[in-house]
Amino acid sequence: MRSCRVSLLGAALGLVALACNALLDLDTLTPYDPTEAGTASSGGPGDPLPDTGSPDLDSSAPDGGSSSGGSEGDAGVAPCDPTEHPDPRGNLFVKAGSAGDGRMNNPFGSVASAIDELIATRGADGGPTEDPDGGPPSVPTIYVFGGSYTESRPLVVTGLPAFTIDGAWGGTLTEWTRDCSLQRRGNTVINASGSRGLVIRNVPGPSRIANLALFTNDDGNDPSRIGVQVVGSGPLTLSNTIVVAENAAAGSAASNGVVGEPVCSGAVTAACKTNPAPGAEGPAGGPGTPGTFTEAGFAPGNGVPGTDGKPGELSHPGAREQRQCAISCPAPETDAVTCEPPVLGSVSGPEGNCGCGGGKGGAGGGGPGGGASVALLTSSSVRVEYSILQAKNGGAGHGGGSGAAGSAGLPAAPVAPGTCSAPGGGCCLLDPETNPSCRLAGEMPMSDACWAQPLAIPGPTPTTGSGGGKGGDGGGGAGGPSYTVVLLPGGDAEYVETNRSYGVGGTGSDPAPAGGAATELRVTTQ
């Protein structure tokens, strides 16, 4: 279970906090450690910033990255009414450890279950619940009892006309009461199941998230961490909240090149060279450029893949051999014992194959860029009041993959020898008594009484093609940024007594750039 943390406001406030926690059966609060801001995470969500006293730093850090992170503004104390009670009309309730149906005295055990039920029952066609006494209609609300919630699936609110998620409730199941302690926003802790803390999509609003702390985690897929992501929705208010985007992940390993297959050809072609040149080396890829933000999130600045090397050239086979062969045998005399002399002719040996060129070296893949750490990404209007928004460190870019060396050329496949009749003694008398070997040779007869004996004519000596060229190495990925708030086109943010902090931009794989870092980034185009 995550421990909630706030700044030490003094001994008196500390005693009040401990007493309130004991009454609500919540985790014990520990002082905020300022050395944790912008440092690496130890595997779980980190600590939020202090409630007050945060340094007021310049937010205009250059895009090349920040060396130490920074912070702007102080988190104020939100007003609170201890006599407030939740409205059970059509709304849902959540308490850690419960396994109910969402009613006040039988709450859900997870925020995700409540969101799913709210969408199913109060979707776009459901609208607000009318007040039977004539008051204003109520906005669909999820009331969350103080405690720690580790969600097993993403928190996505979509298709509702409006909604409220309101933490910091205590009391009993039959009488929920408002927690008005100074650190109440840290007493209801929601640990998201993945890289997004909460996604709000297509909710015309106005909507509200209040009195809770929200942390991102690692889903093993997206290297970025985004606390609250608002897309295509109406106005949203973050009131008395803590939103922490954890350290973004570094780019994963790039792929290395793979050697291609040798290039061979059967018959002689124009591509076969007498002096084959080695395959050219493929150019290396370029470094990644800074990634881009869209409504889908952050696209890392991946390095450019290298280019494949060229395969080796095919070598030309050697010259075909020429032989004089018996092309006919004369008719023998009655008392002759041979068929000599034969009629001779010139015959060429078989055509050879081209030598195989070496396989090309495959290119190395571009190095993946690091992910971004962003507390709030929005294309809508957001009011942030009495809150703490913290982005931690951007992820480092990974180096590009290595290009493979091309393979050596291979000799051509040999060809079967050709045949012809042998010159001089290449004819024999077909007589099983005086010359039985002639018949046993079994060759085609060239006359009624003489046979031409065969002679093998070899093909050219196989030649070897040139080697393939090395593939180009991939370029390195860029570092991911750390921005407290990213405003997409259409997005706007208003801050009231809110602390905004950012960490360090991830390093790029040289010469790829490091990630930027600042409290706010406004994106003008997508």
pLDDT in tens, 292-326: 999 999 999 999 999 999 999 999 988 888 888 87
| pLDDT tens per residue across span 10-52 | 333 333 333 333 333 333 333 223 233 222 232 333 334 334 3
Please give the residue that has the higher pLDDT: either 19 or 206.
206
Lowest mean pLDDT among 61-65, 91-95, 263-267: 61-65
Count of Cβ atoms closer than 10 Å to residue 496 Cβ: 14
Contacts of 146 (CB under 8 A, 6+ apart): 24, 26, 167, 168, 169, 170, 179, 184, 187, 188
Q: Does 127 map to a domain?
A: yes
Residue 217 and residue 154 share a domain: yes
pLDDT the model gives residue 37: 29
- The token duo for 419 is 């045949």
pLDDT the model gives residue 205: 83
Number of domains composing the chain: 2
pLDDT the model gives residue 328: 76
Cα 196–chain centre separation? 16
**DSSP code of residue 103:** B
Q: The tokens 């007003």 sit on which residue?
A: 79
d(CA 149, CA 170): 15
**DSSP code of residue 475:** P
Our CA angle for 341, 344, 349, nearest 5°, is 135
Q: Does 287 map to a domain?
A: no
Return the bridge partners of 457, or none: 418
Q: Does 324 map to a domain?
A: yes
Q: Does 277 map to a domain?
A: no
| pLDDT tens per residue across span 208-244 | 999 999 999 998 889 999 999 999 999 999 999 999 9
Residue 490 and residue 429 share a domain: no
Q: Does 462 map to a domain?
A: no
Tell me how far apart the terminal alpha carbons of the chain are, to the nearest angstrom. Answer: 39
Contacts of 425 (CB under 8 A, 6+ apart): 340, 453
Residue 322 and residue 238 share a domain: no
Q: Is 463 left (phi over 0), alpha (psi -120 to 50) or beta?
A: beta
Residue 500 and residue 452 share a domain: no
Residue 422 and residue 395 share a domain: no
Our CA angle for 91, 92, 96, nearest 5°, is 160
Cα 56–chain centre separation? 36
Residue 388 and residue 448 share a domain: no
pLDDT the model gives residue 365: 97
Alpha helices in 330-487 (DSSP H): 436-441
Please give the residue that has the higher pLDDT: either 495 or 427.
495
Please, are residues 34 and 3 in contact by the beta-carbon 8 Å criterion?
no
Q: Does 59 map to a domain?
A: yes
Residue 217 and residue 80 share a domain: yes
| 58-69 average pLDDT score | 45
Residue 381 and residue 423 share a domain: no
- The token duo for 318 is 């050697």
d(CA 302, CA 304): 7
| 179-205 average pLDDT score | 95
- The token duo for 259 is 């050697």
The amino acid sitting at 233 is: S
HEC string of 18-33 equals HHHHHHHCCCCCEECC
Which of 234, 245, 81, 99 shows the shortest CA–CA distance to 168?
81
> What b-and-e string marks burial along 354-381, b requiring 16 or more CB atoms within 10 Å of the CB?
bbbbbbbbbbbbbbbbbbbbbbbbbbbb
Q: Does 279 map to a domain?
A: no
d(CA 464, CA 310): 17
- The token duo for 165 is 């998620």
| 72-100 average pLDDT score | 94
Residue 9 and residue 122 share a domain: yes
| pLDDT tens per residue across span 106-128 | 999 999 999 999 999 877 554 55
| 64-78 average pLDDT score | 79
Residue 486 and residue 449 share a domain: no
Residue 104 and residue 27 share a domain: yes
Q: Does 163 map to a domain?
A: yes
pLDDT the model gives residue 62: 34
Residue 207 and residue 343 share a domain: no
Return the bridge partners of 523, or none: none
Domain that holds residue 394: 5-251+368-399+477-522
Which of 283, 279, 288, 289 shows the shortest CA–CA distance to 473?
283
Return the bridge partners of 323, or none: 347
Largest separation between any pair of C-alpha atoms in the chain: 140
